[in-house]
Structure 1
Amino acid sequence: METTSGENLSEVAVERSGNAIATLNRTYQVRTGDTLSLIALRFGVDADALRRLNRFPSVNVSLRAGQQLLLPATGEELRPRTPDREHRVQAGETLSKIAADYGVTLAALLQVNRIADPNTVYVGQLLIIPGDSREHGGASRQIGPPRNGFFYYTVQPGDTMSTIARNLNTTMLAIQTYNNLPDAETVYNNMQLKIPYGPPPIDQVFPPVPMSGTRFVVSISRQQCWVYQGERVVYAWPCSTGAGERRTKPGNYAVQSKILNAKSKVWKLDMPYWLGIYDVGPYENGIHGLPVSWQTGKKIWSGLIGQPATFGCAMLGDLEASILFRMAYIGMPVHVLN
């Protein structure tokens, strides 16, 4: 995308770390007419993440020309990639054999080398070998919008893990997980913390369902979840997963039961808007709204959404659970991520 002056944004106005602001984030110098929403749109980042990173009270804050902003990094920038390799064709080799030897598909090999006829290979020909498709158990791609990723936050005097998590709309567990910290106390002045935002990218192996279908994503460390329709996020909600030893099991699942009001004889609870996703012995874990106690007839755990609380399920508020229940179908993909 070009600026109003005709210059390419990837070549001007963006600096890497090592500038006066001691941070791993890129920086951007505000131009006349810029708004946070416009800058976020240009760089493919979330406007609210941009606001939080620069400590603005609102996305509608007035900016001045020359002001320097920190930019979040997108998931695309930080996503690890398998590098392409090269292969020199030897006597007796065919494209099918070369593709099999490297664990890639013949179609991928033809596409990356722009070869129309697989029989035209010749001895000495230099081929590009695309990244190994076996790495994720089959042909895969990333789903999710580009407006997700990470930004780096520099710890300030007086900061604690809990205040950082609260101010940046994340959890202490997410900060520990994404930064490989041993505990909630290991933060110090000027430390660079990686803060995730937006739905996490998923390695999606095809074809489970058409990309136009609905799917549900749960992040255990962030206690958040997202509803996709195709590649578009239509809802983002806080949720609660399993607490203590009854931790929700990460994995790729599909909805295997759909019950308006399921009953748990073990815990003596009604589970409204039940979507079962995997078996635990003779029982089933799933997604549900606020449970109702058989003993009192009242809802429980209403104040715990956004933190681990359940016996292994993913819990939503009743409104959110009812919306998901209406959208869900047997076989709907559910991705539970750490």
Structure 2
Amino acid sequence: MAVFTPVSEQDARNLLSNYSLGEFASLKGIAAGIENSNYFLTTSAAEYVLTIFEVLKVEQLPFYIELMHHLAERGIPVPKPQTRLDGARLTMLHGKPAAIVSKLAGTYIVSPNTAHCALTGATLARAHLASADFTIRQPNLRGLSWWQETAPVVMPFLSQSAQNLLSTSLAEQIAVARSEDWRALPKGPSHCDLFRDNVLFAGTTESPVLGGFIDYYFAGVDAWLFDVAVCLNDWCIDQTSGELIPELATAWLEAYSRVRAFTEQEHRLWPMMLRAAALRFWISRLYDFYLPRPAKTLKPHDPTHFERILTQRTLQAIPNLPKDF
């Protein structure tokens, strides 16, 4: 993530004294994203990622940290939070909460193929089922209530046509959230931000091996179908137009449904959920673009990308969710 908080080698050495993770070897900032400060931390024993939380509050963090630990303990490939000598998995650095997690193998894929999509879909379904008995509950903090709060803030920066799209789309989501189908959707801990750059792969293009899911710090309890829609809107599209690529979408959805079958309510709400996922990231990118926070290394994303995707989900025929798996 972007480097907001500088960390020195001595800071890292002092931090490691609270763990049993080996001796300090190196520290390198990770210049990507816009939410937390991340560093690659290498010791004599292994490679880790040090995260300093710039926005999330201490009382919110146990959900994310313990969820990753819960999933890792159940064989889901996610970064495993490391435990301090005193038994805690959260620590403090420069007055901010921080954590050290295991570093997963692989790199993210810029242009995924059907094999990458299938592996990701199946693994997300496994993660959803594995999280079903996780006892800490926290809503998706970038869910509908946040959209309603943030839309008026970004609205003045938009053209009239974009304002109309935002208003209409938000009204649709408010109405759907009141429906019986919405209330009946399977829900539970969800990643909520599983873009291509949050999934690591090793192996080859033809025979990829999934290294794992990273960056669970936007996770929350939400409809699992929303998690699926977030993925389809990033993994299975033409990056220029925002249109869904049918063969990628089919591979992703069929692999997921072989692990967890979709319900009748999910089938009915699927087109709307794709629009919900596009709306969420359009609003957040508008906010980050027009109202950025200072950072040493900051790369805000183009908000018009998700405006195009939201428009396409209104115009383009949507691939059906698989049945009979």
Same fold flag (TM > 0.5): no
Normalization by structure 2: what TM-score?
0.26
Normalization by structure 1: what TM-score?
0.26
Structure with bigger helix share is 2
Say which one has the larger Rg. Answer: 1
- Greater RCO (Cα-Cα under 8 Å, separation 6 or more): 2
